[in-house]
A and B are shown apart, each in its own frame.
Chain A
Amino acid sequence: MRRVSKGERARIRLTLNGRRMAGEAEPRMLLSDFLRQALGATGTHVGCEHGVCGCCTVLLDGTAVRSCLTLAVQAEGRTVTTVESLADADGTLNALQQAFRNNHALQCGFCTPGILMSFTDFLARNPKPSEAEVIEVLGGHLCRCTGYAGIVSAVLEAARSTSQHPNEEGAKQDAPARTR
């Protein structure tokens, strides 16, 4: 096992949104700060930094986790998926993002990256969720401006659209590679 002493900067290699990347981090550095500061992936937002607000949620090996409760060294060799992966290279939104747009599910948008990543994981596990299940997962996020009704209807619309057209454009990002 690799040992990194306190204060030592270690090289962390990981796959971010399908690209192999590397950066340097002290053992105490959070994954959220590593993504933003070392790798420049600023789509992941940092809110409360203690796991309550959900802004910083990313997928680690396909599972939604708080990047502010994960150390950068824990992501060594693993696959991290952030909000930057959702839209196509030309800016076309995926089904979930488009549903958020259709349902006015964001206003300032600060909390949105985390919510999108949570539901990317959740809809991959549970493609036809009930409203209660969506509300339960959304309970792990705080949104201070839009309110939650629009977000719930957006997720339900995204679930309907992807389960009706599983082979079309919008569905492909909803099932990230899973190693577990």
Chain B
Amino acid sequence: MGTTWPTWLPRNSYPSRPLVAHLAAWWAAVRQDDRRRGELVRAEQQQGAAAGQVVGVEKHFVALAERLTERLPRQSEIDQKRLQLNPLLAAALPFVGHFQTRNKGTVCGSIAHADPASEIPLALALLDGEVVLRSRRGTRVLAAGDFQQGMLTTAREPDELITAVRFPIVQGGVAFREVARRHGDFAIVAVAALADGGNGIRLGVAGMAERPAVRRVPSEDALQDAIERLAWELEGYEDIHASARMRRDLLRRIGPVVAQEAVRCAA
């Protein structure tokens, strides 16, 4: 079984072999958990050291808890530090809501609402973040792509509550832009980009499809063509604010700008 026998447990003290086997398996699991936890703590310490010992960062995520209202990040010292670890969120949050809705709105609430043109779900999808759901049955963690399923539709069960939303710490350059009728409204089209040093750029688009779409697009010559294809793939939807054609056109215009901005930020 490849495990160390606990020194405090006498080797021949248990007559029942199944029980001993059970205990050994349990001990192996505990040891493995310990090792994993140790690695996570080390990872956290490295991240913390890089970012100036940030308070409240778990693992490699910036976790935003249920009660954190969107207004707070501007005012609170600790949250400012957290947001420095996530420049995308810092860029997107000022576009979220008006004075009166921000007074009460929360980050987790925005994720739970799952508006297709909403800024925070777009940031979470682009960064491949996680949603922590809790109920009496227990806690489960879903990836952003699994959580948001469609127009205002999520994988949350009726008895579950979102207790935290985890944004990965950004490595690379990010950019965010949106077009809306009023500052603070849901976007007509919002685009976010992450230049993570990989092959191409991760581009996230909200307001075009029933949930945020994230695609990898080439960073150089083929960028405009890729965004053109993306615009036709997503099609865009019609509503009182804009036609599908206008949405596609907005994506063609702000998509390349945001992608190039992310590349410049990474440099």
Instruction: Give the CA-CA distance A140 to B100 in the complex, in Å.
Output: 7
Residues on A with beta carbons closer than 8 Å to the beta carbon of B182: 139
Instruction: Give the CA-CA distance A118 to B99 in the complex, in Å.
Output: 8
Against A, the Cβ 8 Å flags (1 = close, 0 = not) of B61-72 are 000000000000
* Contact residue among B103, B183, B184, B185 (Cβ-Cβ distance under 8 Å from A64): B103
Q: In chain B between 56 and 94, which residues have their CB closer than 8 angstroms to a CB of chain A?
A: none
Q: Would you call B139 an interface residue if the criterion is a C-beta within 8 Å of the partner chain's C-beta atoms? A: no
Instruction: Give the CA-CA distance A136 to B184 in the complex, in Å.
Output: 9
Q: Does B183 lie within 8 Å of A65, measured CB to CB? A: no
* A61 smallest CB distance to B (angstroms): 10
Q: Would you call B98 an interface residue if the criterion is a C-beta within 8 Å of the partner chain's C-beta atoms? A: yes
Q: Would you call A16 an interface residue if the criterion is a C-beta within 8 Å of the partner chain's C-beta atoms? A: no
Q: In chain B between 159 and 215, which residues have their CB closer than 8 angstroms to a CB of chain A?
A: 182-185
Q: Would you call B101 an interface residue if the criterion is a C-beta within 8 Å of the partner chain's C-beta atoms? A: yes
Contacting chain B: which of A32-40, A49-57, A156-164, A167-175?
Answer: A49-57
Contact A63-B98, Cβ < 8 Å, known A139-B182, A139-B183, A140-B184: no
Tell me which of B101, B105, B185 has the highest count of chain A C-beta atoms within 10 A of its own C-beta: B101
Q: Would you call A66 an interface residue if the criterion is a C-beta within 8 Å of the partner chain's C-beta atoms? A: yes
Q: Would you call B253 an interface residue if the criterion is a C-beta within 8 Å of the partner chain's C-beta atoms? A: no
* B44 smallest CB distance to A (angstroms): 32
How many A residues, CB 8 Å from partner?
A: 18
* Contact residue among B103, B183, B184, B185 (Cβ-Cβ distance under 8 Å from A63): B103
Against B, the Cβ 8 Å flags (1 = close, 0 = not) of A48-78 are 0001101001001001111001100000000
* Contact residue among A51, A60, A121, A122 (Cβ-Cβ distance under 8 Å from B101): A51
Tell me which of B99, B103, B104, B182 has the highest count of chain A C-beta atoms within 10 A of its own C-beta: B99
* B223 smallest CB distance to A (angstroms): 33
Residues on B with beta carbons closer than 8 Å to the beta carbon of A140: 98-101, 184
Instruction: Give the CA-CA distance A65 to B100 in the complex, in Å.
Output: 5
- Total A-B contacts with CB atoms under 8 angstroms apart: 40
Q: Does A66 lie within 8 Å of B104, measured CB to CB? A: yes
Q: Does B184 lie within 8 Å of A65, measured CB to CB? A: no
Instruction: Give the CA-CA distance A66 to B100 in the complex, in Å.
Output: 7
Instruction: Give the CA-CA distance A122 to B103 in the complex, in Å.
Output: 11
Q: Does A69 lie within 8 Å of B99, measured CB to CB? A: no
Q: Would you call A145 an interface residue if the criterion is a C-beta within 8 Å of the partner chain's C-beta atoms? A: no
Q: Does B100 lie within 8 Å of A54, measured CB to CB? A: yes
Q: Does A69 lie within 8 Å of B104, measured CB to CB? A: yes
Residues on A with beta carbons closer than 8 Å to the beta carbon of B100: 54, 57, 64-66, 118, 137, 140
* B67 smallest CB distance to A (angstroms): 13
Residues on B with beta carbons closer than 8 Å to the beta carbon of A51: 101
Q: Supply 13 A–B pairs (Cβ within 8 Å), ascending by A.
A: A60-B104, A63-B104, A64-B99, A64-B103, A69-B104, A70-B104, A118-B100, A136-B183, A137-B100, A139-B98, A139-B182, A140-B99, A140-B100
Report B's interface with A, CB cutoff 8 A: 98-101, 103-105, 182-185
Report A's interface with B, CB cutoff 8 A: 51-52, 54, 57, 60, 63-66, 69-70, 118, 121-122, 136-137, 139-140
> Given known contacts A66-B101, A139-B182, what 13 new A-B pairs fall within 8 Å (CB)?
A57-B100, A60-B104, A63-B103, A64-B103, A65-B101, A66-B100, A121-B103, A122-B99, A137-B100, A139-B98, A139-B183, A140-B98, A140-B184
